Amino acid sequence: MRSGFLPFSQPMLGEEEIEAVVGCLRSGWLTTGTVVKEFERDFAAYVGGKHAVAVNSCTAALHLALEAVGIGPGDEVITCPMTFAATVAVIEHLGGRPVLVDCEATSLNLDPSQIEARITPRTKAILPVHFGGQPCDMDPILEIARAHGLAVVEDAAHALPSRYRGRMVGTLGDITCFSFYATKTLTTGEGGMAVTNHDDYAERMRLMHLHGMSHDAWKRYQQNGSWSYEILAPGFKYNLTDIAASIGIHQLRRCEGFHARRLRIARDYTAALSGRDGLETPRVADERGHAWHLTENLDIDRDTFMRRLTAMNIGASVHFIPAHLHPYYRQKYGFQPGDFPNAFSAFQRIVSLPIYPKMTDQDVDDVIGSVRTLVEEHRQCNVSSTA
Ligand SMILES: *Cc1c(COP(=O)(O)O)cnc(C)c1O
């Protein structure tokens, strides 16, 4: 057994990030300013989008995106239960109604073949979630959206960088939302980005992300700026700080390197763990790129497995508790666990293993060794293997 505990996730921060933060503190300008502008420019160029609006979380980006495409009271937004609670909560914030469509059993992404049956005259948008960084099958989703005049807002919290049929996630739907939370593929501590090719959506999100103010603070405090401003709409307080953006600029430069390392770990996991009785490793559709962020499926009692893994000093997690199982949504919409059978079945069996660039080869071997030991022991005890 390994001696120290291996956390489920750890950020990869170097001297560049530390020096950039110190530089920002010394500059005297802490909140949204030129560093955020630079981060937005770099990010838009990297994913190939026209506009990038930096905000303080992916949740904020999703909220602004749905507001910008016009979601209001009574509007329906089609999304997937296999996601983090924030994806669904932002629909509720705007008075909209989340309409859940089950995920595909293998990719755990929104199943395009089930979307059309759920479209009503109140449907306004589709909100696909790129589970574990593997892009949803976007061509049929975009086609359905076009045919019915629906907006497509993507939850790409795990999908940086990810490609779908050669195109970067960030250039596919109307607005794409990324997360820079501490456990995501790139971090600014807390942060997010909304990327769009539409000038009007970008303008609306810029307005609403800082109080609905006609000028942003940075412009107002410039020597040639004006102190005056007007409130054009009751906006939110979702701006990113220059402190956070100074971390993000350096993280972004290392994004491809981080990706290559995660890919390598995923390959090692797949090679060592696939084809074993009782284990199912993630499947990646050939024509879709994958950011390899999360997940190993297991066919044994999940909660026991997690407890044992933790006792063996390996941190693990579960992504996700499907939205329809949470009390608020169960009570409000009368959901039953079996309403979305693929999401429910995956939830009962799924375990996310550590996969981050800071892991050493020894860390990866320790995870593999512990998982193998558990699966073998489990079979010996004959607890509940269904394989
Ligand atoms: C992490 C996550 C979010 C929320 O991101 P924040 O930046 O923490 O707001 C949204 N959706 C999914 C799928 C996530 O994993």
- 3-class SS at 41? helix
Would you give per-residue pLDDT tens digits along the chain (387 residues)? 899 999 999 999 999 999 999 999 999 999 999 999 999 999 999 999 999 999 999 999 999 999 999 999 999 999 999 999 999 999 999 999 999 999 999 899 999 999 999 999 999 999 999 999 999 999 999 999 999 999 999 999 999 999 999 999 999 999 999 999 999 999 999 999 999 999 999 999 999 999 999 876 666 677 777 788 889 999 999 999 999 999 999 999 999 999 999 999 999 999 998 877 778 888 777 556 554 554 455 556 789 889 999 999 999 999 999 999 999 999 999 999 999 999 999 998 888 999 999 999 999 999 999 999 988 887 754 444 443
Same domain, 92 and 193: yes
- How close is the Cα of 86 to the center of ligand 1, in Å? 7
Q: Which residues line ligand 1 (CB under 6 A)?
A: 57-59, 83-84, 86-87, 129, 155, 157-158, 179, 181, 192
Q: The domain containing residue 204 runs over which residues?
A: 15-253
Mutate which of 91, 179, 355 for ligand 1? The one with the most ligand atoms within 8 Å of its CB, which is 179
Same domain, 164 and 237: yes
Domain end call among 212, 230, 253: 253
The number of the ligand 1 atom at minimal distance from the alpha carbon of 83 is 13
- How close is the Cα of 230 to the center of ligand 1, in Å? 32
pLDDT of residue 383: 43
Same domain, 155 and 41: yes
Same domain, 134 and 187: yes
Contact 16, 224 (CB under 8 A): no
Q: Which residues belong to the active site?
A: 184
User: Which bin fits 93, alpha (ψ -120 to 50), beta or left (φ > 0)?
Assistant: alpha
Same domain, 153 and 286: no
Judge whether 189 lies within some domain.
yes
Please choose, from the candidates 248, 254, 253, the residue with its C-alpha nearest in 3D space to the C-alpha of residue 37: 248
Q: Tell the residue nearest (CA) to atom 5 of ligand 1.
A: 58
- 3-class SS at 183? coil
Mutate which of 84, 108, 158, 352 for ligand 1? The one with the most ligand atoms within 8 Å of its CB, which is 84
- How close is the Cα of 384 to the center of ligand 1, in Å? 33
Judge whether 59 lies within some domain.
yes
pLDDT of residue 222: 74
Same domain, 188 and 266: no
Same domain, 166 and 262: no
- How close is the Cα of 322 to the center of ligand 1, in Å? 14
The number of the ligand 1 atom at minimal distance from the alpha carbon of 180 is 7
The number of the ligand 1 atom at minimal distance from the alpha carbon of 192 is 7
Tell me how far CA of residue 101 lies from CA of 106, 147, 254, in angstroms.
15, 18, 36
DSSP 6-22: B-S------HHHHHHHH
- How close is the Cα of 85 to the center of ligand 1, in Å? 8
Q: Tell the residue nearest (CA) to atom 2 of ligand 1.
A: 157
The number of the ligand 1 atom at minimal distance from the alpha carbon of 60 is 9
pLDDT of residue 127: 98
- How close is the Cα of 1 to the center of ligand 1, in Å? 33
Mutate which of 8, 58, 240, 293 for ligand 1? The one with the most ligand atoms within 8 Å of its CB, which is 58
Domain end call among 253, 277, 298: 253
Judge whether 235 lies within some domain.
yes
Same domain, 235 and 98: yes
- Residues linked to residue 192 through DSSP beta bridges, in sequence order: 55, 179
Same domain, 163 and 308: no
Same domain, 269 and 245: no
Specify the residue for token string 């940086």: 160
pLDDT of residue 227: 81
CB within 8 Å of 200: residues ≥ 6 apart: 68
The number of the ligand 1 atom at minimal distance from the alpha carbon of 59 is 9
Q: Tell the residue nearest (CA) to atom 1 of ligand 1.
A: 157
Overall domain count for the chain:
2
- How close is the Cα of 28 to the center of ligand 1, in Å? 30
Same domain, 180 and 303: no
Token pair recorded at residue 108? 């755990």
Judge whether 1 lies within some domain.
no
Residue 216: give its domain's CATH number: 3.40.640.10
Mutate which of 155, 193, 318 for ligand 1? The one with the most ligand atoms within 8 Å of its CB, which is 155
Please choose, from the candidates 367, 374, 370, the residue with its C-alpha nearest in 3D space to the C-alpha of residue 353: 367
Domain end call among 253, 283, 303: 253
Same domain, 369 and 233: no
Which amino acid is it at 32?
Answer: T
